[in-house]
A and B are shown apart, each in its own frame.
Chain A
């Protein structure tokens, strides 16, 4: 019996019969830039992220716990396993919630908390943060279901542009590229923030010590 697989592959080979045999194709021209900017990347990242209505705060490494503390004063901080302890220094244990299997989708939906995660890389040109959902970043559901996501970005994680970011990322990980809060332009092309993803995206940018 001819399988669908073999038939589709056979159709493809027949369709390409007019072309010379393998090896005769031309090179892909890659004359585009690796980066569109080479200085001021951190500021550019902050500006571009804010352009798409993320709330961006700047801080120093020593001050990060205080910034998170301020966030915790209003709400619980929901953190994934692997968040550096120094980020959370001085925050009352009662205000901290550690993600785990017990937090079902329904619980994540109901919780009134700020989800705090790190990221894998940030892209200046586009104002994007990328999560690879490794330690300190949490499973994908964590930064999706609750309504407020705070991402800590260290200055040395900011790269100029998309090519450099992809080179730093491991495609075997699940990846989420986030550029501003969830939005839709489906109604008369008016941009509305906050549809199914977190309605608030806060970025805390930690500059070099």
Chain B
């Protein structure tokens, strides 16, 4: 994939450009509005949603609390079932391991099923440098790859493209596209099916992410819709699964919680069309070589932060993106990372540190309205973490001179929050009652006040707030 996040402008600048792009905003508003409504319907069907959510959060917390033990257990179980486990401290190490594994097979092409972890580590570029072509097989990923673009949403990476734009991308970049391709969604999906089928049938090596890894049994789990996941997990001889170390759950039975929480929160379905689970190598069925690469790449740093570690509960459902008024206005690219929206605003600065201007500005990419927390299926208190990260940044400011790009945001924050002590009080207040919104000034004054840039929907914001606050308290 060509898109790179290095050298991205800081959030306020990127956001200003995105907000000015009316086509992008229209695509996003339509998409997030649709999925918000559907999610609310399927969640309302389960009268024990609150209990499932509490269990989901607690299982993840428990796992993180004993992460060393569960990782070792997972390694033992996978090894016993015929797989090989590799450990990677950072992106470079993970890429090296995966590149070597592909080289050993003698292949120069791999098929990939959507994996945020491999985007995070920049695997496609690393493989390309080694002369290995990685084919994205998820329809949205394919659109993004053909367009040499970057993903803008966790679940629907091409959410910023409409049908007409997708047809143009296919016509331009897909070698075997029918001349009379229409912009009908069915026709576009059919074109992708034909394009990828030959690759699936011939594929010898696949790289996958996973949604869950079960420590007790060594089972890996992928949820998907299109069948490209099943193709990647079934057809090749060699499967390389890249697993962030926070993906674990302790037991097989724990999946009963997440297989209810995840589909309803992400695609707003009772169940996604396909879920595959596999445990090591299954003789006579599917890949006969399985490699599992466990990746840290900053996660242990997140784990060390008492407030911030809850971000590692995230199951990447993307519900928080779809309800976020800031995301809806600015889109995913402004967040400058594979993790956009509210989760990106708390995860990226923690994974990468806040030395860069983009990372330092991300904790301000929010109004603290609390909608993300409301919908999060594992109850991550995103506003709490945002406030915490702002406090840390303000603290850091006292110790060094900040790069200029983050100054505006920092100044606003300092003005509003006064300093770590007052912020600490505000944070506790937020945790109790989330009454911050009324009092805090929008910290991104730098971009929000410029006249051609509408402040993210102040009216509907307040309406939204009134509704959600009623439920939190």
Contact = CB atoms under 8 A, between A and B. Distances in A.
Contacts of A16: 65, 67-68, 303
A173 to B, nearest CB: 8
Contacts, number: 236
Contacts of B260: 32, 162
A29 B270 contact: no
A187 B228 contact: no
Given A3-B87, A52-B273, A133-B285, A192 B185 contact: yes
**Interface-central residue, A4, A29, A31, by most chain B CB under 10 Å:** A4
A11 B162 CA distance: 44
A82 interface: no
A162 to B, nearest CB: 5
Contact of B48 (A32, A48, A127, A189): A32
Contacts of B267: 185
B193 A179 contact: no
Contact of B285 (A32, A140, A189): A140
Given A14-B304, A166-B252, A189-B35, A29 B55 contact: yes
B465 interface: no
Nearest to A33: B48
A38 interface: no
Given A28-B62, A182-B227, A196-B197, A15 B275 contact: no
Interface residues of B, number: 95
A28 B58 contact: yes
Nearest to A123: B271
B54 interface: yes
B256 A162 contact: yes
A32 B271 contact: no
Interface in B47-71: 47-48, 51-52, 54-55, 58-59, 61-62, 65-68, 71
28 contacts: A4-B87, A14-B304, A15-B309, A25-B62, A25-B65, A27-B58, A28-B59, A29-B54, A30-B55, A31-B54, A33-B48, A33-B51, A52-B273, A109-B201, A125-B270, A140-B230, A140-B285, A144-B227, A144-B230, A174-B276, A174-B277, A174-B279, A174-B286, A176-B274, A177-B277, A179-B269, A179-B270, A195-B192
